[in-house]
A and B are shown apart, each in its own frame.
Chain A
Amino acid sequence: MGEMEQLRKEAESLKDQITAARKAVQDSTLQEAAAGITVVGRIQMKTRKTLRGHLAKIYAMHWSTDSKLCVSASQDGKLIVWDSVTTNKVNAIPLKSSWVMTCAYAPSGNLVACGGLDNMCSIYNLKGKDGNVKVMRELAAHTGYLSCCRFISDTEIITSSGDCTCILWDIETGTQKTVFAGHQGDCMSLAVAPDFKCFISGACDFTAKLWDIREGTCRQTFGGHESDVNAIGFFPNGNAVITGSDDATLKLFDLRADQELITYQDSSIMCGVTSLAPSLSGRLLLAGYDDFNVNIWDMLKAERVGKYMWKLYIPLENGRKVDPAEDSEGSCRVAAGTEH
């Protein structure tokens, strides 16, 4: 038997072992476990505020941890920090490049970052001494577009790129601390775990990967999607991962069981998912699709409980707190409020 053939057989047998191990721990399905839970009922989303000011399509937005301030990035070459309560613009930061794909708000509220086709992640200090917002660092090393960035702290940020890697940066020195390589396709999005110990990335190789930030290793890989994984997020308790894909479905993966729990799909939905956000309680999942619609899913029962059409403004959801945002061209669907 040639060496290649031998290795191939070994790989196949390992895959079978993984499948068997996953099956062994599968003592129930989510549907069975959730069977007795009361139905959520139709959700009708209501606009709370409209944030006007951008002059062109809005490509990305991110909430601050205080859920009052948020930052948005637009094709008009501006990064705007909004006070969502008063709808005032707190800062309007001009960018060098109009082709911005992502923006992020640091947990401390001191910094914001953005990046896109310039292959760089630019960090801005909102609390500069003289009151002006300036570029603090330009993190350049990726050889592909910057699809997503998320702060760990004021000194560390993680970026995902079209060059198939994710990088953990030291903001002070502007250097790479760790390169997370392993994806076989463009990395489209990333999310940091609530305990900041790991992060997940979704890529165009149809998989999502869980990375250990300190060790720099890939701990788990989740497959099953039939197309690019565009959006990714943690379930609020940090034990599960939600992915959204061009195959028009979303999937929920449990980290400890190392397998898919459920797929959120409907035969009438035929276009890809490009953003997602679970509610604080984790009962609802808002999913933004490429046809500019937002579908609201009951996470436990895997049923659609609401739909929201794209509009040229930014609406906020009534009654429930949802952390990150939906984004679609020309508008941002941002959801916040207080959980009852």
Chain B
Amino acid sequence: MSSVNQEEEELPANHTGPKGVINDWRRYKLDSVDQTVPQKKRELLRQMSNPRDDDKERQNRKMSAQEYELIQEEDERCLKRYRKQCMQEMHERLSFGPKFECVHELESGEAFLEVIEKEHRLTLVVVHIYQHGVKGCEQMNSCLDCLAAEYPTVKFCRIDAVATGAAERFSSEVLPTLLVYKAGELLGNFLAITKHFNEEFFATDVEGFLNEYGLLSEKEFSACGDDEDDAGEVE
């Protein structure tokens, strides 16, 4: 996990749990070093990631003695800036990947399989199976048209049940159906999805539904970074 020999080496990547905290702290330390003094940064890097491969005992220890000494009272302004940076990075991670503009029409079962298997592993694929004349399908299509514009990182598709080559599976009772995939895996399978909505439903209803299952990322998350959170206040 650790191997630092280059200058701009990325430190070990545990993002969560106590190791996540250690890595965040390390990055914070590196960032807060004056950028115009590259020597300092190199020194810090050296201090933080001693090559542990030759010392088996050190391999089981996540923080070096020198690092413990570096922990101290932090400048609140620097911390605030760093937190914002962290949040921004997480956002970028969420919106990384190819962008789409509108709902794609899939012409066949093969096209369907291809889109599920070939898309970027971070891209969420939402497929709407519809059929002309079945109640709710047209409404769903217009809802997805809206959502496709608002969620450019999600690939919205639709396919006519007949075109799938498995029309018998998709009787009008289970339509419209929404299938959600990511990296080739089925994450959500919503048959007759309109049973969850009122007769007249809108893009926000579909959006809210998908959000409930954690399938859509939040469009824009303002971390209220500039507001001071009053301590001890009860709401």
Could you list which residues of chain A lie within 8 angstroms of chain B, going by C-beta atoms? Answer: 42, 44-47, 53, 55-57, 59, 75-78, 88-94, 98-102, 116-119, 132-133, 143-145, 147-148, 162, 164, 184-186, 188-189, 203-205, 228, 230-231, 246, 272, 274-275, 288, 290-292, 307-309, 311-313, 315, 327-330
A161 to chain B, nearest CB (A): 10
Q: Digit string of B202-224 for contact with A (CB within 8 Å is 1, else 0)? A: 00000000011111011001011
- 17 pairs of residues in contact across A and B, judged by CB atoms under 8 Å: A45-B213, A53-B229, A55-B227, A57-B83, A78-B229, A92-B229, A185-B61, A186-B60, A188-B18, A188-B19, A189-B17, A205-B60, A246-B1, A274-B14, A313-B218, A315-B214, A328-B15
Q: Digit string of B70-97 for contact with A (CB within 8 Å is 1, else 0)? A: 0100100001000100110010001000
- Name the residue on B nearest A73 (C-beta): B21
- Asked if B17 and A188 make an inter-chain contact with CB atoms under 8 angstroms apart, the answer reads yes
Give CA–CA (A275, B223) in the complex, Å.
Answer: 25
Number of B residues with CB within 8 Å of any CB on chain A = 52
Stretch in contact with the other chain, from B102-110, B144-152, B184-192: B184-192
Chain B residue numbers with a CB within 8 Å of A291 are: 15
Looking at A75, A94, A186, the one whose CB has the most chain B CB atoms below 10 A away is A75
Give CA–CA (A203, B19) in the complex, Å.
Answer: 12
B207 to chain A, nearest CB (A): 13
- Asked if B16 and A274 make an inter-chain contact with CB atoms under 8 angstroms apart, the answer reads yes
- Asked if A117 and B185 make an inter-chain contact with CB atoms under 8 angstroms apart, the answer reads no
Chain A residue numbers with a CB within 8 Å of B187 are: 307, 309
Starting from the known contacts A75-B83, A133-B232, A147-B18, 14 additional A-B residue pairs (CB-CB under 8 Å) come to A57-B83, A78-B231, A91-B234, A92-B232, A93-B232, A145-B21, A164-B61, A274-B14, A274-B19, A290-B20, A309-B187, A311-B217, A313-B218, A329-B15
Looking at B21, B187, B224, the one whose CB has the most chain A CB atoms below 10 A away is B21
The answer to the question of B4 belonging to the interface, with a C-beta cut-off of 8 Å to chain A, is: no
- Asked if B232 and A102 make an inter-chain contact with CB atoms under 8 angstroms apart, the answer reads no
Contact among A44, A53, A143, A231 with B17 in the assembled complex (CB-CB below 8 Å): A231
Contact among B63, B90, B230 with A329 in the assembled complex (CB-CB below 8 Å): B90
- Name the residue on A nearest B90 (C-beta): A330
B159 to chain A, nearest CB (A): 22
The answer to the question of B22 belonging to the interface, with a C-beta cut-off of 8 Å to chain A, is: yes
Q: Digit string of B1-29 for contact with A (CB within 8 Å is 1, else 0)? A: 10000000000011111111110110000
The answer to the question of B51 belonging to the interface, with a C-beta cut-off of 8 Å to chain A, is: no
Query: When A53-B229, A185-B60, A204-B62 are in contact, do A98 and B17 touch as well, CB less than 8 Å?
Result: no
- Name the residue on B nearest A311 (C-beta): B214
- Asked if B20 and A59 make an inter-chain contact with CB atoms under 8 angstroms apart, the answer reads yes
Contact among A75, A93, A144, A272 with B24 in the assembled complex (CB-CB below 8 Å): A75
Query: When A90-B234, A92-B231, A275-B17 are in contact, do A184 and B60 touch as well, CB less than 8 Å?
Result: yes
B137 to chain A, nearest CB (A): 22
A76 to chain B, nearest CB (A): 6
Chain A residue numbers with a CB within 8 Å of B182 are: 309
- Asked if B17 and A309 make an inter-chain contact with CB atoms under 8 angstroms apart, the answer reads no
- Asked if B61 and A204 make an inter-chain contact with CB atoms under 8 angstroms apart, the answer reads yes
Contact among B87, B188, B221 with A44 in the assembled complex (CB-CB below 8 Å): B188
Q: Digit string of B162-197 for contact with A (CB within 8 Å is 1, else 0)? A: 000000000000000000001001011100000000
The answer to the question of B225 belonging to the interface, with a C-beta cut-off of 8 Å to chain A, is: yes
- Asked if A274 and B234 make an inter-chain contact with CB atoms under 8 angstroms apart, the answer reads no
The answer to the question of B54 belonging to the interface, with a C-beta cut-off of 8 Å to chain A, is: no
Give CA–CA (A78, B80) in the complex, Å.
Answer: 13
Query: When A90-B234, A91-B234 are in contact, do A57 and B214 touch as well, CB less than 8 Å?
Result: no
- Asked if B86 and A57 make an inter-chain contact with CB atoms under 8 angstroms apart, the answer reads yes
- Asked if B188 and A117 make an inter-chain contact with CB atoms under 8 angstroms apart, the answer reads no
Give CA–CA (A246, B16) in the complex, Å.
Answer: 11
- Asked if A46 and B17 make an inter-chain contact with CB atoms under 8 angstroms apart, the answer reads no
A263 to chain B, nearest CB (A): 20
B14 to chain A, nearest CB (A): 6
A129 to chain B, nearest CB (A): 15
Chain B residue numbers with a CB within 8 Å of A275 are: 16-17
Contact among A88, A99, A315, A328 with B21 in the assembled complex (CB-CB below 8 Å): A99
Give CA–CA (A162, B21) in the complex, Å.
Answer: 12
Give CA–CA (A329, B224) in the complex, Å.
Answer: 17
Chain B residue numbers with a CB within 8 Å of A204 are: 60-62
Query: When A132-B232, A185-B60, A292-B15 are in contact, do A56 and B83 touch as well, CB less than 8 Å?
Result: yes
- Asked if A89 and B214 make an inter-chain contact with CB atoms under 8 angstroms apart, the answer reads no
The answer to the question of B55 belonging to the interface, with a C-beta cut-off of 8 Å to chain A, is: no
A308 to chain B, nearest CB (A): 5
Please provide the 5 A-B residue pairs with the shortest distance between their CB atoms, ordered closest to farther: A185-B60, A56-B83, A274-B17, A101-B18, A147-B18
- Asked if B16 and A288 make an inter-chain contact with CB atoms under 8 angstroms apart, the answer reads yes
- Asked if A101 and B213 make an inter-chain contact with CB atoms under 8 angstroms apart, the answer reads no
Query: When A132-B232, A186-B60, A274-B14 are in contact, do A116 and B21 touch as well, CB less than 8 Å?
Result: yes
- Name the residue on A nearest B65 (C-beta): A143
Chain A residue numbers with a CB within 8 Å of B59 are: 185
